[in-house]
């Protein structure tokens, strides 16, 4: 996984500790634990967790693109969102599907 700098790039001056935790701990340590859970599986968990909160925004789009990059197919993403809809909420699934269609449109 590439070194994450989004926290420092976007919040480094305003919230340096948060930026450090985002880049070094969340992405540098947690996401790096590929022996325990693959990047592909972490992507699936993350997309589902963000969808369940209804946070269908740029962060969600980033994680959809990351899931695609790490091998989650359009068909699998459709199944993931469909399954999660029953636990997270139907309107959240509609919003997630709209963004997923945009991310996977080339497929």
Say if residue 87 is in the same domain as residue 99.
yes
Say if residue 22 is in the same domain as residue 41.
no
Give the number of domains in the chain. Answer: 2
pLDDT tens readout for residues 80-101: 999 999 999 999 999 999 999 9
CATH number at residue 91: 1.20.1290.10
Span 5-24, average pLDDT = 94
Taking a C-beta distance cutoff of 8 angstroms, is the pair 84, 93 a contact? Answer: yes
Say if residue 86 is in the same domain as residue 56.
yes
Enter the DSSP assignment of 14: T
Say if residue 106 is in the same domain as residue 80.
yes
Say if residue 50 is in the same domain as residue 70.
yes
Say if residue 27 is in the same domain as residue 40.
no
Taking a C-beta distance cutoff of 8 angstroms, is the pair 78, 93 a contact? Answer: no
**Backbone phi, psi, residue 49, to 5°:** -65, -45
pLDDT tens readout for residues 52-91: 999 999 999 999 999 999 999 999 999 999 999 999 999 9
Domain that includes residue 63, residue range: 36-107
Residue 70 token pair = 């790490």
Say if residue 25 is in the same domain as residue 49.
no
pLDDT band at 3 (very low <50, low <70, confident <90, very high): confident
Say if residue 105 is in the same domain as residue 53.
yes
Report how far residue 63's alpha carbon sits from residue 31's, in angstroms, rounded to the nearest whole number.
12
């Amino acid at each position: 996984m590439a070194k994450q700098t989004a926290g420092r790039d976007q919040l480094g001056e305003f919230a340096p500790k948060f930026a450090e935790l985002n880049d070094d701990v969340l992405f540098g340590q947690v996401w790096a634990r590929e022996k325990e859970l693959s990047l592909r599986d972490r992507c699936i968990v993350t997309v589902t967790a963000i969808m369940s909160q209804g946070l269908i925004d740029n962060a969600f789009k980033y994680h959809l693109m990351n899931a695609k990059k790490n091998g989650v197919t359009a068909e699998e993403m459709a199944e993931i969102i469909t399954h999660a809809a029953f636990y997270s909420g139907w309107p959240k699934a509609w919003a997630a599907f709209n963004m997923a269609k945009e991310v996977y449109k080339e497929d």
